[in-house]
């Protein structure tokens, strides 16, 4: 690659970063104005204490939480696709989604079962149960795959764990149908329950995961050339794979615990970035994270305002829009993603 081509790609990457940050800021301001009645001119009623409380305690943390969750999923999706060298890899590949759903289902089913179980559920909370379930599913996948040495074995183990845990979760719902409605809200995904504590937690985890992901991006660049080439470059693949999977599990588990299952954001964000600019994995991870945050924030605004006062499930909206985009991209590129 010539120096002129590399400089041009770098400039395009910078322009895309600035555009995504600017768009995110615009969407954040719009998020303060979208409520149960649709778009509201909050500045006209800013002196009202109730308006200020709604904006600062509900809409602002929800909007920033949507960006943080999308950024975590976009980051995790870029790492997954680079690590497995598979454009169809997504953050839920290792069974974290099914594990989180099972954790929430078990917590809901145990609530009220006995004083000890109720105390445990109250202490842990649904977000904690979802995070524990997602982390346990990833650990189970790694155990079945006997480590991270074999990529194909790891992928197959993730699929098996996802199917089995999903089936167990369905069995729990069949035995305790009273928790079905709450579980439906979790499975469809929602940013409506994100408060300042969850927002700050996701932001802190994003900074940590972004730092580690950026530092280990040379490993993903080496893997893109093949495992043999990466080994010949002296890259410690086993240790680096373990670290990358830990970052993926932490980012995905944190996002899922706060917002439920948000489909297609982690899968679509890296594809959108690659369709706009060709960069190495370091910048790809960062841009995918910004893209994921922007996509989920935009989807959350649409979910809130499209049918106000009724609110659409944001997970359903991202699945429809993200799936439609990927189908269009496949059609345009001749089924070569």
Q: For position 335, what pLDDT does the model report? A: 46
Residue scoring higher pLDDT (164 or 3): 164
Name the percent of the chain lying above pLDDT 90: 31
- Name residue, tokens 């893209």: 291
3 inside domain: no
Tell me how far apart the alpha carbons of residues 244 and 232 are, in angstroms, rounded to a whole number: 20
Q: Please name the residue that has the structure tokens 């439920």.
A: 260
Question: 34 pairs with which residues across the strands?
Answer: 39
Residue-range definition of the domain harbouring residue 243: 9-332
Q: How high is the pLDDT of residue 333?
A: 62
Question: Rounded mean pLDDT of 250-263?
Answer: 91
Note if the bond before 308 is cis, omega within 30 degrees: no
* CA atoms in the 13 A half-sphere facing the CB of 21: 8
Flag the least confident range among 50-54, 258-262, 312-316: 50-54
Q: Share the mean pLDDT of the chain.
A: 84
Give domain status of residue 252, yes or no.
Answer: yes
**Residue 76: inside a domain:** yes
Query: Which class for 80: exposed (0-12), middle (13-18), buried (19 or more C-beta within 10 A)?
Result: buried
Inter-residue contact 102 to 129 (CB < 8 Å): no
Pick the closest to residue 235 from 255, 257, 260, 218 (CA basis). 218
pLDDT of residue 203: 93
Q: DSSP class of residue 43?
A: G
Highest average pLDDT, of 7-11, 44-48, 152-156, 289-293, comes from 289-293
Does 4 reside within a domain?
no
| pLDDT range class, residue 260, cuts 50, 70, 90 | confident
Apex 284 CA angle, 283 and 285, nearest 5: 90
Contact call for residues 110 and 306 (beta carbons, < 8 A): no
Query: Looking at the domain assignment, is residue 241 inside a domain?
Result: yes
CATH number at residue 286: 1.10.3470.10
Q: Which residue has the higher pLDDT, 335 or 311?
A: 311
Cα distance from N-terminal residue to C-terminal residue, the chain: 22
- Return the sign of the alpha-carbon dihedral for residues 169, 173, 174, 180: negative
In a domain, 2, yes or no: no
Q: Is residue 15 part of a domain?
A: yes
Closest-CA residue to 144 (of 123, 165, 115):
165
18 falls in which pLDDT band (50, 70, 90)?
A: very high
Q: Is the pTM of this model over 0.85?
A: yes
The region of weakest confidence among 11-15, 123-127, 156-160, 297-301 is 123-127
| CA–CA distance, 245 with 234 (Å, rounded to integer) | 20
> Residue ranges of the alpha helices (H) in the chain?
3-31, 49-54, 60-84, 96-110, 115-144, 151-175, 180-188, 196-215, 217-223, 227-232, 237-259, 265-276, 281-305, 314-332
- Which whole number is the average pLDDT over 207-230? 81
Tell me the per-residue pLDDT of 272-316, one tens digit each, with 9 for 90 and over. 898 888 888 889 999 999 999 999 999 998 888 777 677 888 888
At residue 58, does pLDDT exceed 80? yes
Q: Which two tokens stand for residue 206?
A: 């994003």
- Measured between alpha carbons, how far is 241 from 250 in angstroms, rounded to an integer? 14
SS3 145: coil
- Each residue's pLDDT tens digit, 160-210: 999 999 999 989 888 888 888 878 888 888 888 888 999 999 999 999 999
Beta bridge partners of 39: 34
158 contacts 141 by C-beta, under 8 angstroms = yes
Whole-number percent of the chain with pLDDT over 70 = 85
**Total domain count, the chain:** 1
**Length reported for the chain:** 337
What is the pLDDT confidence band of residue 336, given thresholds at 50, 70 and 90? very low
Query: Rounded to the nearest 5°, which phi and psi values hold at 307?
Result: -130, 35
Backbone angles phi, psi at 84, to 5 degrees: -95, 0
Place of tokens 């910048």: 283
Looking at per-residue pLDDT, the higher value among 333 and 131 belongs to 131
Q: Is residue 337 part of a domain?
A: no
């Amino acid at each position: 690659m010539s120096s002129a081509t590399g400089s041009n790609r770098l400039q395009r990457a910078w322009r895309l970063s600035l555009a995504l940050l600017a768009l995110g800021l615009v969407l954040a301001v719009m998020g303060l104005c979208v409520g149960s009645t649709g778009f509201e001119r909050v500045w006209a009623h800013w002196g009202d204490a109730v308006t200020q409380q709604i904006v600062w305690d509900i809409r602002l943390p929800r909007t920033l939480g949507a960006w943080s969750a999308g950024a975590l999923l976009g980051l995790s999706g870029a790492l997954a696709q680079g690590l497995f060298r598979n454009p169809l890899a997504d953050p839920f590949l290792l069974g974290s989604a099914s594990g989180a759903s099972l954790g929430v289902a078990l917590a809901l089913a145990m609530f009220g079962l006995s004083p000890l179980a109720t105390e445990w559920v109250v202490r842990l909370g649904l977000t904690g149960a979802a995070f524990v379930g997602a982390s346990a599913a990833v650990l189970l996948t790694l155990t079945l795959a006997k480590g991270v040495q074999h990529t194909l074995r790891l992928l197959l183990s993730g699929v098996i764990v996802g199917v089995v845990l999903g089936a167990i979760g369905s069995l729990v719902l069949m035995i305790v149908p009273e928790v079905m409605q709450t579980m439906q809200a979790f499975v469809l995904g929602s940013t409506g329950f994100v408060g300042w504590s969850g927002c700050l937690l996701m932001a802190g985890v994003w900074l940590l995961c972004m730092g580690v992901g950026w530092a280990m991006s040379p490993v993903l660049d080496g893997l893109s050339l093949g495992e043999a080439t990466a080994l010949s470059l002296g890259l410690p693949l086993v240790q680096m794979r373990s670290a990358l999977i830990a970052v993926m599990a932490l980012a995905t588990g944190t996002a899922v615990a706060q917002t439920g299952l948000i489909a297609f954001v982690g899968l679509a964000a890296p594809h959108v970035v690659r369709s706009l600019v060709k960069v190495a994995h370091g910048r790809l991870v960062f841009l995918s994270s910004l893209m994921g945050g922007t996509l989920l924030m935009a989807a959350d605004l649409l979910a809130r305002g499209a049918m106000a006062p009724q609110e659409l499930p944001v997970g359903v909206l991202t699945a429809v829009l993200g799936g439609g985009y990927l189908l269009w991209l496949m059609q345009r590129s001749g089924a070569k993603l």
